[in-house]
């Protein structure tokens, strides 16, 4: 599996790398190389899976991150204010967005601004 580098610029953030995968738990060992450090902090966003009947992959992803030594901070978009979302994203090294209903996730992100 190869890692592609993308640059996305906004007013405050520059995203240098994007790691897209299915079944993260199966490829989690590739993350430290992408992040550039073996341990760090991760904003874990499970929102897309809230209304899914099958969502075992959410806990599998979280467990894989913890097994690698990452500190996981959950950010549930429907329960957080725009200010909390911004602060959480700023203080962590990585953002992990769990799979699920991405239309629902986008709806909630737009609703929060």
Per DSSP, helices labelled H in 36-81 are 56-67
Q: Indicate the pTM of the whole model.
A: 0.81
Residue 40 is part of a domain; what is its CATH number?
A: 3.40.50.880
Number of domains in the chain: 1
Residue whose C-alpha is closest to residue 25's, from 74, 53, 55, 65 = 65
Enclosing domain of residue 104: 5-112
pLDDT in tens, the chain (113 residues): 444 443 444 455 666 677 888 889 999 998 888 877 778 899 999 999 999 999 899 999 999 999 999 999 999 999 999 999 999 999 998 899 999 999 999 999 999 98
Per DSSP, helices labelled H in the chain are 24-27, 31-35, 56-67, 82-91, 102-112
């Amino acid at each position: 599996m190869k890692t592609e580098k993308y640059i996305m610029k906004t007013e405050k953030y520059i995203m240098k790398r994007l790691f897209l995968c299915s079944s993260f738990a199966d490829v989690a060992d590739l993350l430290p190389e992408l992040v550039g450090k073996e341990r760090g902090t991760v904003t874990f966003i499970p929102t897309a899976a809230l209304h899914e009947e099958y969502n075992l992959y959410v806990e599998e992803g979280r467990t894989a991150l913890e097994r690698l030594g990452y500190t996981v901070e959950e950010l549930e978009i429907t329960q957080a204010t725009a200010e909390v979302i911004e602060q959480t994203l700023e203080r962590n090294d990585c953002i992990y967005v769990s799979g699920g209903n991405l239309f629902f996730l986008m709806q909630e992100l737009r609703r929060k601004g």
